[in-house]
Amino acid sequence: MSPANLARLGKTFGPELAAWAIAQGDLRRRAQAKFSLAAEMIFVREALEQATAEPVANFHAAQFPTGETVCDLTAGIGADTIALAGRGPVRAYELDPERADCARWNLAVYNREADVHTEDCFTAAPWGPFIFVDPARRTGGVRSTTGSDFAPDPAKIIDFAHGAELGLIKLSPMQRDEELGRYGPRVEFVSHRRECKEALVSFGLQAEPGTFAVRVESGERIRQGETYAEPTLSPGEYLFDVDAAVVRAHALGSLLTAQRRPLGDAAGYLTGEFAESPWWRAYRVVDFLKPDRKIVQSELRRRGAFIEEVKQRGAGVDADILRKSFHPEGDHALSLVIIEQSKRRRYLLAERLP
């Protein structure tokens, strides 16, 4: 927005309302990656950062029976409340009045209804048989991975929810397995757009035990697998970049076969014969090089190529800086994959397949 338009807006509506409107315009642009109706919604910045993306919220809602009342203990700006209201009655709680107002407005944008109460959810316990909670994990922009720092504390939720049929707690995938397991017998690491977005813990009488990776787009699940194969530092014809949710769920073993084995020490790369799977992105291996920038640059020149992306798993490299250090030598896109094994590093040039 130009300085002249800013001044005009402030003169017409006053500086405070003008500043709010300008901030909402920025937040709506940011929210387009999460919400289909972002242009009509209102937001609080910190709440938007934690808010569940619409497809993931719809996945959460689908876990509950249609038509049954669900108690949403942490409405926030309404992301999950909206999705839950699409399948049945919702009773929602939000301590912050501004966020509660956002939730009410945003529900109306989606033409959905829910009872949104501006009060502490614990004052309304017991909550009924079906419960959803997305605890606040950021304070002042600082993210925590310790459950006792969350608001509300998941352990306290469990204590108050005895006899629940099904409860879901959205948590960070960075939390330790032992802590996640204390909250419920079932943990699902949720993948959306090939990113591990969350750890979804289920508790209650209907919670079936197990650890899984799950894809929001299809609902497919893969169970934690213990199969092990010795990693190699010699790639086959194809590289498979496995979904991060599979790695986090310790389910990589379920994807191993005689034709595919781990590549390097970092979990998440497989190599071997070509195969299609929703759980990985496939690449055709072009070359395997020493980690020398001049050698890579020479190979790019020979192939008339440029580095489209740098991929690494725990290599401690700034991928963007490394990518920019190579000069384009043509219009053929290649990926540079950093492979490490037993402190040895190699660069793999690969062509991403459709």
Phi-psi region of 221 (alpha: psi -120 to 50; beta: other; left: phi over 0): beta
17-61 tens-digit pLDDT: 778 888 899 999 999 999 999 999 999 999 999 999 999 999 999
Residue 232 domain-assigned (yes or no): no
Q: How many domains does the chain have?
A: 2
Same domain, 178 and 72: yes
Q: What is the pLDDT of residue 32?
A: 97
Look at 53-57, 136-140, 292-296 and tell me which has the smallest mean pLDDT.
Answer: 136-140
CATH number reported for the structural domain that contains residue 133 in this entry: 3.40.50.150
Please say if the pLDDT value at position 119 is more than 60. Answer: yes
Residue 2 domain-assigned (yes or no): no
Q: What is the pLDDT of residue 159?
A: 93
Same domain, 160 and 288: no
Same domain, 70 and 186: yes
User: Would you give the distance in Å from CA 255 to the centre of its chain?
Assistant: 21
In whole angstroms, what is the distance from residue 82 CA to residue 109 CA? 10
Same domain, 302 and 168: no
Residue 280 domain-assigned (yes or no): yes
In whole angstroms, what is the distance from residue 152 CA to residue 150 CA? 5
Strand partners, 70: 90
Residue 346 domain-assigned (yes or no): yes
Domain boundary pick from 221, 250, 274: 221
Phi-psi region of 343 (alpha: psi -120 to 50; beta: other; left: phi over 0): left
- Average pLDDT value over all residues in the chain: 92
pLDDT band at 149 (very low <50, low <70, confident <90, very high): confident
Same domain, 170 and 44: yes
- What does the block give as tokens for 267? 């979990």
Same domain, 133 and 247: no
Instruction: Please give the angle made by the CA atoms of 51, 54 and 55, to the nearest 5 degrees.
Output: 125
Same domain, 257 and 342: yes
Residue 284 domain-assigned (yes or no): yes
Same domain, 182 and 207: yes
In whole angstroms, what is the distance from residue 303 CA to residue 312 CA? 23
Same domain, 82 and 213: yes
Domain boundary pick from 190, 221, 252: 221
CA atoms within 13 A on the CB side of 257: 8
Same domain, 90 and 207: yes
Same domain, 115 and 262: no
153-202 tens-digit pLDDT: 999 999 999 889 999 999 999 999 999 999 999 999 999 999 999 999 99
Phi-psi region of 87 (alpha: psi -120 to 50; beta: other; left: phi over 0): alpha
Q: Which residues contact residue 35 at a Cβ distance below 8 angstroms, ignoring those fewer than 6 apart?
A: 41, 53, 54, 79
Please say if the pLDDT value at position 329 is more than 70. Answer: yes
Same domain, 256 and 203: no
Q: What is the pLDDT of residue 343?
A: 83
Residue 195 domain-assigned (yes or no): yes
| Domain limits for position 290 | 238-352
Which whole-number Å values give the CA distances from 231 to 194, 257, 276, in the listed order? 23, 13, 21
In whole angstroms, what is the distance from residue 292 CA to residue 239 CA? 21
